[in-house]
């Protein structure tokens, strides 16, 4: 997948993790102008199962017609930053998995005052060279969200462009799959439901930074990540899978999110002890898949007691992994 963005810092992690060339904005803009494209509009926070239906249909259509697919979305959406399920880099990771050709991360400020007509003419027709457009049933656009799917349909029709509107995708219980529902399940720690509605596990992608360097002393070194502008599960301990930049192997481990009240630092941290691993990975990008809430974070009366509990958390998760593994083998 190629990127069209002027804000490279937002995609730095995914560029490094996937070891791809730093995108050239002007070159890629020129490239899409020479193609005929299917433009897919939306926020795609989480790239959940509903989003995936739109993406798959668009990709299929593009294949049939010899077109390219472009997801057009905003880099820094103005509101609700801390409720985002995916950062730009994480969104890019899943869009790439869905075989999208280009991801255009537009600065919202650039287009926020465009009327629906202007948006269609300047963005969809001129910049993106659209042959067809896809969006979800609740898509809005233009100044103050003045345009909806009906407006878009009419504006595209006069330009002989087809709009494909995806109706709401439902889960097995007949409820609409939405980013809001997924956020609530993340907060509740119900990762079975989170994974079911996302169609993949909740991920945290980031660079390993220095922490207090106490982990190694207590026998549980932890790879620490920066806190990003996104939603995090409640402070607590989670069973996770870990992927490390440049390493094919998938590791298991336990992650703690919180303020480490026992050692009284109070700084927010997201840190993971990786099982059967002993390497220096400072500066590397890692991708964590969150699978289960094990318990909530707690203040222990001593570091010794904390150490004992971390040992129990790790054993609990190792046993569970063994159980999953045996079940898989017997199936
Ligand atoms: C599985 C796991 C569970 C943890 N649970 C707690 C906890 O309940 N309370 C707490 O104060 N710290 C908890 N921690 C965080 C430790 O305090 C922290 O890892 C330790 O201070 C080392 O930090 P460092 O990586 O910055 O050196 C946990 C860490 C792990 C890996
Ligand atoms: N099994 C492991 N799990 C996590 N990190 C490990 C492991 N083995 C070695 N490391 C390395 O050690 C560092 C963590 O050690 P730690 O003492 O907790 O320091 P810090 O407080 O800086 O995170 C990680 O960033 C990584 O480079």
Confidence of residue 79 (pLDDT cuts 50, 70, 90): low
pLDDT beyond 60 at 78: no
Residue identifier of the C-alpha nearest atom 19 of ligand 1 = 215
Cα separation values, 119 from 106, 116, 157, Å: 12, 5, 15
Confidence of residue 61 (pLDDT cuts 50, 70, 90): very high
Q: What's the rounded mean pLDDT across residues 94-115? A: 95
Domain residue ranges in the chain: 2-166, 201-330
Residue 159 pLDDT = 97
Domain 201-330 has CATH 3.40.190.170: no
Q: What is the CATH architecture of 2-166?
A: 3-Layer(aba) Sandwich (3.40)
Of all ligands present, the nearest one to the C-alpha of 256 is 1
Lowest mean per-residue pLDDT among 75-84, 184-193, 264-273: 75-84
- Over residues 139-169, the pLDDT tens digits come to 999 999 999 999 999 999 999 999 999 999 9
pLDDT beyond 60 at 221: yes
Residue identifier of the C-alpha nearest atom 25 of ligand 2 = 223
Lowest mean per-residue pLDDT among 7-11, 36-40, 99-103, 233-237: 7-11
pLDDT beyond 90 at 274: yes
Predicted-assembly ipTM surpassing the 0.90 threshold: yes
Of all ligands present, the nearest one to the C-alpha of 258 is 1
**H helices of the chain, where?**
12-17, 25-34, 49-65, 88-97, 108-111, 116-118, 149-157, 179-188, 191-198, 303-330
Q: What's the rounded mean pLDDT across residues 2-29? A: 93
Residue 80 pLDDT = 56
Q: Give the Cα separation of 128 and 106 in Å (integer).
A: 12
156 CB near ligand 1 (under 6 Å): no
15 CB near ligand 1 (under 6 Å): no
Residue 21 pLDDT = 86
Q: Give the Cα separation of 328 and 315 in Å (integer).
A: 20
Using a pLDDT cut of 70, give the percent of the chain over it: 98
257 CB near ligand 1 (under 6 Å): no
């Amino acid at each position: 997948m190629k990127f069209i963005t002027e804000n490279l810092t937002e995609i730095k992690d995914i560029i490094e993790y996937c070891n791809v060339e730093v995108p050239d904005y002007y070159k890629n803009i020129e490239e899409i102008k020479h193609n005929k494209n299917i433009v897919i509009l939306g926020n795609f926070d989480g790239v959940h199962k509903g989003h995936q239906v739109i993406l798959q249909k668009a990709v299929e259509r593009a294949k049939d017609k010899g077109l390219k697919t472009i997801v057009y979305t905003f880099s820094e959406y103005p509101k609700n930053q801390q409720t985002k399920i995916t950062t730009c880099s994480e969104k890019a990771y899943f869009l790439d998995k869905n075989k999208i050709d280009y991801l255009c991360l537009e600065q919202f400020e650039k287009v926020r005052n465009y009327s629906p007509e202007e948006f269609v003419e300047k963005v969809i027709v001129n910049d993106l060279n659209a042959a067809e457009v896809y969006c979800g049933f609740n898509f809005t656009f233009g100044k103050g969200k003045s345009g909806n799917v009906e407006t878009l349909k009419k504006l595209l029709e006069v330009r002989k462009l087809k709009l494909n509107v995806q109706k709401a995708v439902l889960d097995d219980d007949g409820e609409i799959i939405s980013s809001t529902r997924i956020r609530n399940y993340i907060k509740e720690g119900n990762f079975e439901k989170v994974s079911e509605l996302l169609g993949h596990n909740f991920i945290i992608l980031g660079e390993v930074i220095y922490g207090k360097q106490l982990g190694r002393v207590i026998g549980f070194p932890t790879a620490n990540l920066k806190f990003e502008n996104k939603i995090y599960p409640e402070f607590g301990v989670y069973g996770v899978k870990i992927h490390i930049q440049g390493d094919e192997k998938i590791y298991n481990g336990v992650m703690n999110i919180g303020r480490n009240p026992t050692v009284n630092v109070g700084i927010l941290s997201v840190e993971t002890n990786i099982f059967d691993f002993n390497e220096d990975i400072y500066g590397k990008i890692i991708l964590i898949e969150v699978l289960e809430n094990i318990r909530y974070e707690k203040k222990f009366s001593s570091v010794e007691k904390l150490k004992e509990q971390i040992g129990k958390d790790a054993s609990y998760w190792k046993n569970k992994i063994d159980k999953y593994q045996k079940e898989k083998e017997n199936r």
